[in-house]
Structure 1
Amino acid sequence: MSNMRYWSGKRMRYAFISDIHGNDVALEAVMEDIHDTECDKIIVLGDICFRGPAPKRCLDIVRDRADAVLKGNADEWVVRGVRSGEVPDDRLDMMNREGMWAREQLSEDDIAFLNSLPMTLDGSDHGTNWLAFHATPKDLFQVVLPDAGEIEIEERIIGTHPHDMFLYGHIHLPYARRVRDRTIVNLGSVGLPFDGVAEASYAVLDCTTARVDVDLRRVPYDIERAVTALSEAEYPNASYIAEVMRNGRP
């Protein structure tokens, strides 16, 4: 999976979104907010289809609207299944059932698209160099939490990368913090937030002012419509996913 690079010579506003998880109701609300916020580019950091009622609809929106798309661990799961050791043993069977259900909603071309996605996006705008990825630059599955120590962040995220800013998803917990002279940003989740706020989350990187600003945005959406869609689609783990949507917690 190769590295992608994006550079712009003019001032821009980027929307970074991640962890949609088949929740088209939340994704549509975020896309509307992105339009209202007048973002110039949309960058998706993975986990598009798995664990929600509308994998095909979400992937179609992403393929139509996004300017760059990266792979997440859940995209890898849709392609090849969940392996032992990647999730707790008591969840393995159900999560494979969910992954198979999602795969059945997609075309062969969709699966090939997910399989071909790169892991990182390297960008530069308005004097700021940034690196985007799903979990860490080298691993789709590693967990780096908001309160991780500086040594852990330096080892798992920054490494030898020269970038000023690092943006990622995966943990469903939005935050922005400085680690020495670097900025670390987690986008949270569009479809399944885990921070107790039952609203979609994404980040806007604003390169239109004298400095680069990060705006972590929350977008309310019709949760009960999404819950109803789970039931209507006969999603295999509907009751659990419905409670995560309603409570904003796993």
Structure 2
Amino acid sequence: MRVAVISDTHGNLYALDAVLADIDATGPFDEVIMAGDFAFGGPFPAECVERIRERGYRAVRGNTDEFIVEVATDGARPSGATEAQRHGPAQTAIDRWVADRLTAEQVEYLAGLPLSLTVPDERGEALTVVHATPWSSHDVLSPDAPEELVARVLDAAGTAAVGYGHIHVQYQRRLDGRLIAAVGTVGLPFDGDQRAGYAVFTSGVDGWSVEFRRVAYDVDAAIEATLRSGVPNAEGFATVLRTARPAGA
């Protein structure tokens, strides 16, 4: 069984289209799953949501998807963020800009996405896909997270493997024979490599394994589109695209 997991498109349609072309070229896959954060920050929020919907891929919700839904519904559907995890005024302005560009149907789609999805293989050993953790789309599981937290994530998932997004880098580790892997980001890398990233999980006789893929795309075109879009903090988003590093790094 082969499962492609993409995540964190962040409104970067140039990167998403490049990854989808790579998926088409390297398939077939038993399933393709989107691990959240469709629209926040980039110039093409509605288009990124629609690409995934058009292809019928299953998806989970990300933290920024929750914030966008909260803004779009005037608080009727609040995010699951703690006070410390909430967006500040500058980020909320981006949430509003994105929400204003999504259709009501797209907002409803994001609001209805689950926190996790499970893909069983032929042997009954399943892969769980989440945005951040099985209990929250906002918590952070970093590559150097203590074993106790990794074990908590794996135990909460209750499966042989977990794939997640949120941290915008790729890594894998194993604990007690179970696999956990951050799939990276399609639209906004933080590891110094401008290329779009995603992951392919394969189930075989030795259990689940993961391959990290990187795909070149027209970064300059994405930057130009961002600067023309009118999205708040366009310069900041463009800088992250250019440097492939987090803001302020």
Both structures adopt the same fold (TM-score exceeding 0.5): yes
Question: Quick one: percent identity of the two aligned structures?
Answer: 36
Deviations 1:50-70 (A, max 9, x none): 111000110110101142111
Give 1:185 shift: 0.7
Give 1:42 shift: 1.2
1:135 corresponds in structure 2 to: 132
Give the secondary-structure state (helix, strand or coil) at the position aligned to 1:239.
helix
Residues of 1 paired with 2:85 and 2:126: CA distance? 32
| Letter matched to residue 41 of structure 2 | R
Residues of 1 paired with 2:156 and 2:167: CA distance? 23
2:141 is matched with which residue: 135, 139, 144?
A: 144
2:15 corresponds in structure 1 to: 26
Is 1:86 aligned to 2:82, yes or no? no
Is 1:227 aligned to 2:223, yes or no? yes
1:76 corresponds in structure 2 to: 66
2:91 is matched with which residue: 75, 88, 95?
A: 95
Alignment CA distance shift 1:154-1:198 (3 Å): same
**Runs of 4+ residues over 6 Å off in structure 1:** none
| Letter matched to residue 77 of structure 1 | F
TM-score by length of 1: 0.89
Give 1:93 shift: 1.2
Alignment CA distance shift 1:161-1:29 (3 Å): closer
Q: Report if aligned partners of 1:44, 1:66 keep a CA contact under 8 Å in 2.
A: no
Is 1:237 aligned to 2:223, yes or no? no
TM-score by length of 2: 0.89
Aligned length: 234
Q: Report if aligned partners of 1:14, 1:39 keep a CA contact under 8 Å in 2.
A: no
1:205 is matched with which residue: 182, 201, 220?
A: 201
1:5 corresponds in structure 2 to: none
Is 1:59 aligned to 2:58, yes or no? no
Give the secondary-structure state (helix, strand or coil) at the position aligned to 2:100.
helix
Alignment CA distance shift 1:104-1:154 (3 Å): same
Give 1:159 shift: 2.5
Residues of 2 paired with 1:126 and 1:227: CA distance? 43
Q: Report if aligned partners of 1:71, 1:119 keep a CA contact under 8 Å in 2.
A: yes
Task: Specify every segment of 5 or more residues in structure 1 that has no aligned partner in the other structure, as ranges.
Answer: 1-11
| Letter matched to residue 22 of structure 1 | G
Is 1:174 aligned to 2:170, yes or no? yes
Task: Specify every segment of 5 or more residues in structure 2 that has no aligned partner in the other structure, as ranges.
Answer: 72-78
Coordinate RMSD, CA, aligned: 1.6
